[in-house]
Amino acid sequence: MVQDAREAATAPGRRSAAARVGRPSPGWAVPGVLFFAVFAVVPMVYAVYLSFCGNWGGLGTPQFSGLSNWTRLFQDSDVRQATVTTVVLTVLSWAFQTPVALLLGVWAAGRERNRAVLSAVFFIPLVLSTTAIALLFKAILDPNFGLATTIGPWIGFPDGNIIGSPNGALIAVAFVGGWQFIPFHTLIYQGGARQIPEVLYQAASIDGCGRWRQFFHITLPQLRHTITTSSVLIIVGSLTSFETVFLLTQGGPGTSSTTLSYGMYREAFQGFDFGYASALGTALVVVSTLLSLLMVKFSGFGSMRSTREGM
């Protein structure tokens, strides 16, 4: 009843005075919106503008140069390689983090004792900064320091110089990212798995389904939305990942682990070509925006928005 009255009251053109009692004026939002505009929206728009400006290193004023950066971008073999590297890294990260986090999360959603095993220790990587983690693994994977020479031969790097080989460097970056973020995604999956109604499993048990079939026919389909949310976070995160590459491999050896965002950094702050760097950045935003929109569509944000209707 109250609900109906409220909806009627806020329907366009039917606002009575009563419905407006105590409504704040939009003016309250101005400082926050302005601040966000200056430090997040304007930089984004400015990046798009700069992507149409010629070789500019920050001194004087940028000169408009039409599509020159963009044509260069589409012909640049380095960019092509960085794109492939970024995609490979993203796929590796997803393929590593998703199964591990999903299985750990489902297992931890079970009995109380399971969660106790994944106690405090399990989440420590989450409280360390990416910088600290990257430097820790740089030390561990240092070929002179020991552990790399022990592990290397097991995974096909007989000389133990994992970071020094093109494939090894990428694998290392993906592994370090996983080491850092798998606990986070485990939490997401644990939350999702605990929402699955127990009744489904009981019914399946009565019908004589074993563990495997329960997992594939109940758990996985029920976790559909959780998998989407977690996957999109992994994908958008790895597409724009910068710190681990910067600290662990510096994009090397050669340019074999140079991702698009690290390449952009190099163009801007080592090559001082802000226009070209901005074109790279803009291209990256377009891709990750498309993915984020998918995220808004398929995950919780979408439902958060829809609850606004009828308010």
Contact between 116 and other proteins by CB under 8 A: the answer reads no
CA 134, 135, 140, 141 dihedral sign is positive
Nearer to other proteins, 73 or 147 (CB): 147
Residues 279-308 that bind other proteins (CB under 8 A): 281-282, 284-285, 288-289, 292-293, 295-296, 300-301, 304-305, 307-308
Contact between 158 and other proteins by CB under 8 A: the answer reads no
Nearer to other proteins, 110 or 156 (CB): 110
Binding residue count for other proteins, defined by CB under 8 A:
115
Task: Please select the residue that binds other proteins; options are 79, 137, 161, 171, rule is CB under 8 A.
Answer: 137
Residues 189-208 that bind other proteins (CB under 8 A): 191, 198-199, 201-202, 204-206
Task: Please select the residue that binds other proteins; options are 8, 14, 16, 33, rule is CB under 8 A.
Answer: 33
**Segment interacting with other proteins, rule: CB under 8 A, options 74-82, 90-98, 164-172, 234-242:** 234-242
Q: Which residues contact 116 (CB under 8 A, 6 or more apart)?
A: none
Query: Residue 193 CB: number of other CB atoms within 10 A?
Result: 19
Nearer to other proteins, 30 or 91 (CB): 30
Residues 37-56 that bind other proteins (CB under 8 A): 37-44, 46-47, 50
State in angstroms the smallest separation of the CB of 253 from other proteins.
Answer: 18
> Does residue 53 sit in helix, strand or coil?
strand
Task: Please select the residue that binds other proteins; options are 108, 171, 223, 234, rule is CB under 8 A.
Answer: 108
Q: At 260, list the tokens.
A: 């698009």
State in angstroms the smallest separation of the CB of 27 from other proteins.
Answer: 8
Please list the residues that pair with 64 across neighbouring strands. Answer: 53
Residues 60-99 that bind other proteins (CB under 8 A): none
State in angstroms the smallest separation of the CB of 67 from other proteins.
Answer: 18
What are the two backbone dihedrals, phi and then psi, of residue 132, each rounded to the nearest 5 degrees?
Answer: -60, -45
Q: Where are the alpha helices (DSSP H) in 110-222?
A: 112-117, 124-127, 130-140, 147-151, 166-194, 198-206, 211-214, 220-222
Please provide the size of the chain in residues. 311
Task: Please select the residue that binds other proteins; options are 139, 159, 217, 224, rule is CB under 8 A.
Answer: 139
Task: Please select the residue that binds other proteins; options are 1, 21, 60, 116, rule is CB under 8 A.
Answer: 21
Task: Please select the residue that binds other proteins; options are 8, 36, 78, 155, rule is CB under 8 A.
Answer: 36
State in angstroms the smallest separation of the CB of 211 from other proteins.
Answer: 5
Do 295 and 303 meet the contact criterion of CB atoms below 8 Å apart? no
Q: Which residues contact 241 (CB under 8 A, 6 or more apart)?
A: 89, 173, 177, 259, 261
State in angstroms the smallest separation of the CB of 156 from other proteins.
Answer: 18
> Does residue 213 sit in helix, strand or coil?
helix
Task: Please select the residue that binds other proteins; options are 184, 225, 252, 271, rule is CB under 8 A.
Answer: 184
Q: At 296, list the tokens.
A: 């808004």
Q: Packing angle between helix 166-194 and helix 224-239, nearest 10 degrees?
A: 150
Contact between 238 and other proteins by CB under 8 A: the answer reads no
DSSP string over 226-259 = HHHHHHHHHHHHHHT--HHIIIIITT-STTTT--
DSSP 8-class letter at 64: B
Q: At 89, list the tokens.
A: 């890294």
Nearer to other proteins, 77 or 309 (CB): 309
- Cα radius of gyration rounded to whole Å, the chain: 25
Nearer to other proteins, 37 or 91 (CB): 37
